[in-house]
């Protein structure tokens, strides 16, 4: 707490000097604060009004949407919804025999195309791109590329070796970048105004959650990638939209998958490391995260499903879609604005995560 106290003391002294020792600066600071507050309020009010006044849904006919990882979860759900809205869907699946792939194939529609795609292999991804290009020459033009890729693992940073780190980074960061780079020329050549990338990330790219270190690290990286790509593609008139759901009850975040991940990480640890932790530590940690997922309010899940649809079908999408529930907004804002001592205390003493 020593560093925290020193920071508070410094802040107090600065405020004292500004507010009491320099009256002119005090007046200028007061006016500047009012002006800044007015600009911020006006900006967000204008955005709020604009979202209602300019909310137009595009005509889906002839618009091709590419989605990665449609075997299950949000990718599969979004593919089905976009098909029912009238878009032509090209679904990349890790296996054409997966339940999600079969569900899409069973639609029996010429507007749904399911292809095997291994995004970790450039050759497979280029073949997928070639098939999309063939479709664009006959069925329409590319409208959106939805990059939906993620693996999550459970365990402390000490438990990971280089291979574990490399695999998480490979899928969550390099594959996202790879898909964007492969499809960028096609999207740039599309004649549609409003064509876009939609990159599915996670709010855990804004919160450093203990026990999911590599996952959070990669999500921070994807958030940076999304923002840089958005600014670089403005000159081409291409939207880059970020979607940041929470860790929902999806296959990569199912309690069973997390438990399997934990056991894999724990079982390969040497006894010298295991002895530093209590034997019940991992079970308690997994149970806490299982409860976090199981208790995710359904309104948030439904709200984010709608937002993902909006990111594709809205004429002028937002730059970022996050859960709108007030409790979640306050939580995310708190992690960004509160001192580290408070957030550290919350994670270690209140949340119950990561107690040895």
Q: Which residues are catalytic?
A: 215
- Angle at CA 136, nearest 5°, toward 131 and 137? 100
Question: With the C-alpha atoms ordered 64, 70, 75, 80, is the resulting torsion angle positive or negative?
Answer: positive
Burial 64-88 (b: 16+ CB within 10 A, else e): bbbbbbbbbbbbbbbbbbbbebebb
Sheet strands side by side (includes 320-321): 112-116, 88-93, 63-67, 141-147, 196-200, 239-243, 320-321
Q: Are 197 and 229 in contact (CB under 8 A)?
A: yes
User: What does the DSSP assignment read for 69-89?
Assistant: --SSHHHHHHHHHHHHHT-EE
Q: 3-class SS at 112? A: strand
DSSP state of 324: -
């Amino acid at each position: 707490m020593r560093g925290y106290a020193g920071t508070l003391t410094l802040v107090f002294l600065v405020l004292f000097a500004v507010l009491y020792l320099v009256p002119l600066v005090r007046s200028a600071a007061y006016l500047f604060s009012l002006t800044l507050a007015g600009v911020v309020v006006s900006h967000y009010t204008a955005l709020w009004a604009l979202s209602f006044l300019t909310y137009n849904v595009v005509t889906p006919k002839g618009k091709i949407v590419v989605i990665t990882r449609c075997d299950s979860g949000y990718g599969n759900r979004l593919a089905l919804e976009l098909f029912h809205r009238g878009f032509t869907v090209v679904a990349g699946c890790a296996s054409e025999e997966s339940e999600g792939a079969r569900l899409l194939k069973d639609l029996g529609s010429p507007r749904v195309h399911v292809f095997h795609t291994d995004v970790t292999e450039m050759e497979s991804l280029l073949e997928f791109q070639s098939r999309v290009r063939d479709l664009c020459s006959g069925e329409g033009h590319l409208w959106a590329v939805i990059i939906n890729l993620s693996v999550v693992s459970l365990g402390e940073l000490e438990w990971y070796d280089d291979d574990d780190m490399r695999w998480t980074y490979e899928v969550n960061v390099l594959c996202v970048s790879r898909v964007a780079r492969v499809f960028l020329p096609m999207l740039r050549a599309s004649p549609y105004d409003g064509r876009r990338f939609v990159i599915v990330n996670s709010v855990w790219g804004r919160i450093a959650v203990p026990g999911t270190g590599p996952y959070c690290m990669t999500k921070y990286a994807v958030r940076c990638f999304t923002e840089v790509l958005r600014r670089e593609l403005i000159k081409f008139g291409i939207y880059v939209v970020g979607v940041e759901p929470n860790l929902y009850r999806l296959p990569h975040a199912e309690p069973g998958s997390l438990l399997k991940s934990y056991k894999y990480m724990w079982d390969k640890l040497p006894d010298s490391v295991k002895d530093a932790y209590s034997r019940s530590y991992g079970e308690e940690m997994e149970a806490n995260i299982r409860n976090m997922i199981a208790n995710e309010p359904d309104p948030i899940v439904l709200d984010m499903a709608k937002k993902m649809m909006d990111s594709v079908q809205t004429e002028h999408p937002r730059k970022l879609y996050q859960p709108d529930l007030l409790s979640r907004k306050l939580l995310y804002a708190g992690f960004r604005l509160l001192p580290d001592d408070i957030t550290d205390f919350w994670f270690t003493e209140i949340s119950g995560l990561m107690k040895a």
